[in-house]
Structure formats: structure tokens, C-alpha cells
Amino acid sequence: MVNVAISRKRLAAAVAGVAAAVMLAVVPAYAFYYVHGNAYDAGSGVNGAVEVVVTIDGSAQGKSSWTQLVCVPASESTPAAAVEQAIVSSNSQNGVAAIHNYDYQSVKDYVANGKWTCTVYSAADRKAGTHTAQDGSGKVVSDLAGAELQRFDQVVLTAS
């Protein structure tokens, strides 16, 4: 008859494997809860992140225009934080430089030299199905650190 008793080393290895598998499932779930909160959104007074859309329109200065989604800390959800978190990457698309050029700078540094107007469009004012254009006029903001953003608000920086 074959001895089917499991050794202590195999038992410890099995327990460690099961514990590792459980941790791989639990840690990302807890991290998602921690960032998004119990109601899957974050207010300005709690831990988490607020998703903000940042649009840079440099066409008046002969520069490119683009839009990106950035996450800012919920406790600092201001246009200043959104502009600091957004980046301008290298736009080189030629040859080997396209895959080896990782240069970038923050939008804050990008707009430092020049005249830019900041307009904030509230996500709550958008009508359903019109997410590609603004409904009505936004609020022109002169103090970027003084305005508070809500989830999915759009910050538009326009060159003059």
C-alpha cells in the first residue's frame, strides 16, 4: 500500500500557495475600494481620486491640441492640480525616435511661457449624449488653485 500522508513541507507549501492566491485577489479589490470609496466616487474631503478631463488648445500659437484624462487627489481637486498631473509627451513619430524618445513635461511647465485662458466646464451641466462638446459656457478661472473640480469636469486651457 502506498503511503498517502502529506509531509509538513508540502502542507506548508500548499498553505502558502493558497494564501498568495487569496492576497492576489484581495489586495486589488481593497485598493479599488480605497481609491473610489464605498459609493465608487470620491468627494473632496475623503481619500481617493477625482477623474478630470484636461484639454490643451494651442492652435492660436501654432501648437497642437489634445485631450487627456487625469486623476487628481480628491483633497486637491483643483485646475492647478489637474494641470500639474497632465503631461506633454514627445510628439516624435519618425523612425527609431518614435519608440526611444520618452521626453515629457507637465502641462504646468508647458503653459508657463505664454498667455493661456483656463475655462472649467462642469460635468453636471452636460446633457446626455453630448459628451464631445460643451453645453453652454464654462466658467473662466483666473486662480487655478482656488476653484474646486468635481468628477469628470473638463479643464480647457486655450492659448491666446
**pLDDT on residue 95:** 66
Does residue 91 register a pLDDT over 80?
Answer: no
Domain boundaries 49-95+104-128+136-159, CATH class: alpha beta
* CB proximity list for 82: less than 8 A, separation 6 or greater: 52, 54, 70, 72, 149, 155
Residue 138 per-residue DSSP state: -
pTM of the model: 0.63
Could you read off the pLDDT of 35-61 as tens digits, one per residue?
554 454 544 455 678 889 899 888 888
**pLDDT on residue 40:** 45
Could you read off the pLDDT of 111-138 as tens digits, one per residue?
887 788 889 988 877 766 655 566 567 8
**pLDDT on residue 17:** 92
Over its C-alpha atoms, the chain yields an Rg (Å, rounded) of 24
**pLDDT on residue 42:** 45
* Mean pLDDT, rounded, for 64-80: 86
SS3 105: strand
